[in-house]
Structure 1
Amino acid sequence: MESSKEEILEEVMGKHGGELVRLAFNYVKDNETAKDMVQNTFIKCYENLDNFRSDSAMKTWLYRITINQCKDYLRSWHYRKVHARSLVGSAFNSLLPSTEDEVIKESEQEEMKKLIFSLPPKYREVIFLFYYKSFSLGEISEITDLKINTIKTRLSRGRQKLKNLMEEATIYEG
């Protein structure tokens, strides 16, 4: 007996919802917006479920939809307007004191995140998918619609850029 679209969607939401929100958050940097992006992903999934050919895994299809949703959002006028306002707000909030324990505990992780997020998006994207999400080169190719050799090149250049940034950070700290 075949599952209905609703049953398939419910299963997919339970299985991949959390990781898709984390993926979207890495693009949009806002939890509520990330949830909205994933909700839009599931709407598109539902609408196009009959067209899904199973040429790729459901997970890679969902990742691709989510990434495209996020990229579209980041190009939108609404995002640019909201982002400008939040920059002003975060500049003010950064002046507020934080406890020493929190700073020590999170400083290394935050520094690495900053370095990764300072990379150009084309490098940041493949590094994130490869190292943080453990996707294979083939899966990344399906998600990003790039050739595997392009992904290999971007990984290599991204790692080199990250290494250079880490060395620069060490020089300035030392």
Structure 2
Amino acid sequence: MSHDDALDKKNLLASFVREYGDDLKRIAYLYTHDLVESEDIVQEVLIKCYTQLDHFRHESSYKTWLIRMTINQCKDFTKRWSVRNIFYRQEIPDRQDLDLTENIYIQKETADEMLLVLAKLPSKYKEVLILYYYEELTMIEISEVLAIKHNTVKSRLLRGRNLLKDKLERSDWNG
């Protein structure tokens, strides 16, 4: 690889970090519920991206490729650390959290409960819900990222929403 090729590769990677870094971190956080782990996962994805960039086949966009790698890395993380999921770990609140008004605190608790319920859904439903609602990908983009048919995305969204609703109702969620 020439010096110019290496520079182009570094510039492309830097643009990925600017354009997609926050999205990738959000996806990783929704899987792990741990900010440090989500940052580590994104870093691992970017390293893989850099080393595999020459093998990118342009069958999808860079964004869908990076999201797919992030999801795979998250799945690997969950497999390696599934024992951690036995116990729910309370995160230490930031100073800012201590200053929240009552309404903001209630909204945060509601969102946290929703994420906990979402995390307990089967992976195939959790994936499409995260990509659709949190990453705002279209159903076509989701089908590309997950390499599944458009109709499969539709049915998983419907089934995932129903499962989420049932689990929230059973947990007496009032949001």
Does TM-score exceed 0.5, indicating one fold? Answer: yes
CA–CA distance in 2 between the matches of 1:88 and 1:147?
A: 35
Alignment gaps of 5+ in structure 1: none
SS of match in other structure, 2:87: helix
| Pairing 1:7–2:11 present | yes
Q: How does 1:92-171 map to 2 (within 5 A)?
A: 101=102, 103-170=105-172
Instruction: Please list the CA deviations of residues 4-62 of structure 1 after superposition, one character each: whole Å capped at 9, or x if unmatched.
Output: 11111111112111211111111112111111111111111111111212221111100
Partner of residue 53, structure 1: 57
Alignment gaps of 5+ in structure 2: 93-97
Runs of 4+ in structure 1 deviating by more than 3 angstroms, as ranges, are 88-91, 166-170
Partner of residue 35, structure 2: 31
Instruction: Please list the CA deviations of residues 138-168 of structure 1 after superposition, one character each: whole Å capped at 9, or x if unmatched.
Output: 2111211222222111111111122223433
CA–CA distance in 2 between the matches of 1:80 and 1:160?
A: 25
Query: Sequence identity of aligned pairs in percent?
Result: 37
Partner of residue 72, structure 2: 68
CA drift at 1:111? 3.1
CA–CA distance in 1 between the matches of 2:79 and 2:164?
A: 25
TM-score for both structures, normalised by structure 1: 0.79
Partner of residue 87, structure 1: 87
Instruction: Please list the CA deviations of residues 87-125 of structure 1 after superposition, one character each: whole Å capped at 9, or x if unmatched.
Output: 27649x8xxxx8983643423323332332232222111
TM-score for both structures, normalised by structure 2: 0.79
SS of match in other structure, 1:5: helix
Equivalent residue letter for 2:20 = H
Pick closer, same or farther for the CA change 1:133–1:163 going to 2, 3 Å: same
Higher relative contact order (CA 8 A, sep 6+): 2
Task: Choose 148-157 or 103-112, whichever is displaced more.
Answer: 103-112
